[in-house]
Structure formats: structure tokens, C-alpha cells
A = this chain, B = another copy of it.
């Protein structure tokens, strides 16, 4: 997969091309919520990133990013998990390609619970158990593991940027909480 993406690299978008595309069509994203599970598969902790936004603010976020041209959705999930959690996180990607939901981020707030001032993004959302050591990378400053009870807290959910608190709440629900 990685090789194929590299080979296709010459067709990736320049900054200008990306800006242009963002004005013209929905951009395909993936969102991943890392979790710790016990031997019965029950989620024991949800992993939330602290991420520096462009404006110098810090907010909680999911692992999130674009799907590239000629990249599989699974490849994009793996790439963004590795980018944010480091190479030793050992994410266990789902065997089913079906996302648990589709989050539609609109540049205009209020159309859906999700909002992205930069673009209209449509994101396939997955819960991903990780078994290894997580070491936040790049603009992900820190990874915090919170219990299902803490994750259900409305205050914590409100701290998350772009309406991702709703996505966390939906992930809790599909995990049985």
C-alpha cells in the first residue's frame, strides 16, 4: 500500500491545488478514535489528542486526515494513526470497511453537528483498538486516555474542536456505553 501511494505521489495536491479543490467539492476524510480494550473487547479507555490548531489554540481532537488520490481508506487510516500516535501504536484496524458513522463537516456551522471552517469534508469514522505504545507526533502534542465515564462528560465533549465531541459521543454509543 505504502509503495503504491509513494508511486502516486507526483499526483498529490500542491497547496494551491488543495485550496482550489476545497472551494469546489467535498474532501474525503477519515476520523479514528483510538481505544484500549480488555480481553472481551470492552473499551476501557478512549484516546484523545491534544492538538495545536493553526490559530495557536490547543484543543482535544480525534486522529483525522485526508484520503489521498489512489490511497485505500484503510491505508489512510493507518497512515494518520501512525502520524499521530507514532510507529509503535499497533492499531488494530477493523476487518469491516463499514464506518460506524459518516461525519459531514460543513464550512457553515449548524448544517450538521460538525464544522470545518476550511472546507466541506466528509469523514468515514472508525473506532480503532491500539495495543502498543503511543507517542504523539508532529502537531499532536499529547495523547490522553480517558475512561468511558470521563468520555461521556458533556464538558469534555464541548472542549473538542469542530463538533468532534458529537463524534466521541456517537462512538461511546456504538461501543455500548
Contacts and interface: CB of A to CB of B under 8 A. Distances in A.
Interface of A: 1, 4, 11-13, 17, 21, 23-28, 35, 37, 39-43, 66-75, 77-78, 92-102, 104, 106, 111-113, 120, 122, 124, 127, 129, 166, 169-170, 172-177
29 contacts: A1-B40, A11-B24, A13-B24, A13-B25, A21-B21, A21-B25, A24-B69, A25-B27, A25-B28, A26-B68, A37-B93, A40-B74, A41-B93, A41-B95, A42-B74, A69-B120, A72-B111, A73-B122, A92-B92, A95-B129, A96-B174, A97-B175, A97-B176, A98-B100, A98-B174, A101-B174, A170-B173, A172-B173, A174-B174
B17 A24 contact: yes
B93 A26 contact: no
A169 B173 contact: yes
Copies in the complex: 4
Contacts of A166: 177
A130 to B, nearest CB: 11
A25 B101 contact: no
A176 B101 contact: yes
Contacts of A42: 74, 95
B95 A175 contact: yes
A143 B68 CA distance: 35
A18 to B, nearest CB: 8
A38 to B, nearest CB: 9
B43 A23 contact: no
A99 B96 contact: no
A27 B35 CA distance: 30
A169 B171 CA distance: 12
